[in-house]
Amino acid sequence: MQISKYIYSFSYDNAESELCKLESRYIFNKEEKNKLLFSDIKAEPSNSAFVKRRLDIISFSEDYSTLINDIKKESICVEGFKIEYLVFDGDTTGYAERLNKLRDIGYSIEGIPDYYSPTITYALCYYEGIWYFGNLIKNNYAWYKHKQKPCSYSSSISINIAKALVNIAAKANKEKKLLDACCGVGTIMLEACFAGNNIEGCDINWKICKDARENLSHFNYTANIYHSDIKDINNRYEAAIIDLPYNLFSSATDNDILHIIESTAEITDRLVIVSTSDITNLINNSGFRISDYCSVSKKGKTSFARKIWVCEKNG
């Protein structure tokens, strides 16, 4: 039986469902199903807003008794462990039975458990006829601290979108050199720096550049931010993110948008573009083709949505 190395659990609301699936396609090369995904690709849960946890599979079996015997054969010896039961779609195991099974596994591990401050967390789950046991790695949500950045604007994209844009642009590859072409106060750059991505930013507005640098410095991140028109950037990048300005403080006309896209096209072959209006025609006229797309509505505001295009250079 061929089993993937990892099981990922996802958490998202309806408004961000499309975005989660788009991000999933670029991290794992496939979409999650029932908020679960099996993969051989190892990804850090905290680098995504939607990945809740990752189970690193140690043992699996269609037969529960066989699973317990396999766990015993692992001869796991660790102090301060904890075991959790993950309830997946289709699992009808009752609460009392789940506790008994956790007890079985606890007795199969050498060491004293610690339920409050565990050194390591294991998990048991049942999905589509198979029992799984493994190490549980959770999203630590340490990136929530970015919500308290010193400089912000109400029109900035959400952290969830920012994290997804980084993963989509980099395809979860930290070696890829990224550009945040209209970096604003650095919302996207903060998430890229948190995840260890290689990113630079630029913005034509000097005050916004100053605010972005202050935000990065506040969290002890280091990245180049250029006060520059995008046409004057000479570096080469493997992908660029363009969150087009739309608010009263900094709005963009069709000519501005075309200028930004065409100028960015000179330094990269791949774009991830965010806009509140439909700019499909502008993208098609800029030498790029749209390879993927999603829409993200704002919670409680069904009339407001951000559109995200993944674009590749023609030819």
What's the pLDDT at 249?
42
* pLDDT higher than threshold 80 for residue 315: no
What pTM value is reported for the model? Answer: 0.93
* pLDDT higher than threshold 50 for residue 266: yes
Cα atoms in the Cβ-side hemisphere of radius 13 Å centred on 30: 10
* pLDDT higher than threshold 70 for residue 300: no
- The overall average pLDDT reported for the chain is 93
Q: Where are the domains of the chain?
A: 6-138, 145-313
Q: Which architecture does CATH list for 145-313?
A: 3-Layer(aba) Sandwich (3.40)
* pLDDT higher than threshold 80 for residue 114: yes
If one compares 29 and 253, the residue with the highest pLDDT of the two is 29
| Beta-sheet pairing, 51-61 with 6-10 | antiparallel
SS3 category, 130:
strand
If one compares 43 and 305, the residue with the highest pLDDT of the two is 43
- Nearest residue to 85 (alpha-carbon basis) of 106, 63, 113, 70: 106
Q: Reply yes or no on domain 6-138 having CATH 3.30.428.10.
A: no
248 pLDDT band (50/70/90 cuts)?
very low
What's the pLDDT at 116?
94
- Nearest residue to 3 (alpha-carbon basis) of 43, 59, 45: 59
251 pLDDT band (50/70/90 cuts)?
low
**Separation between Cα atoms, residue 103 and residue 97, nearest integer Å:** 10
Q: Which residues, listed in sequence order, are joined to residue 138 by a DSSP beta bridge?
A: 53
82 pLDDT band (50/70/90 cuts)?
very high
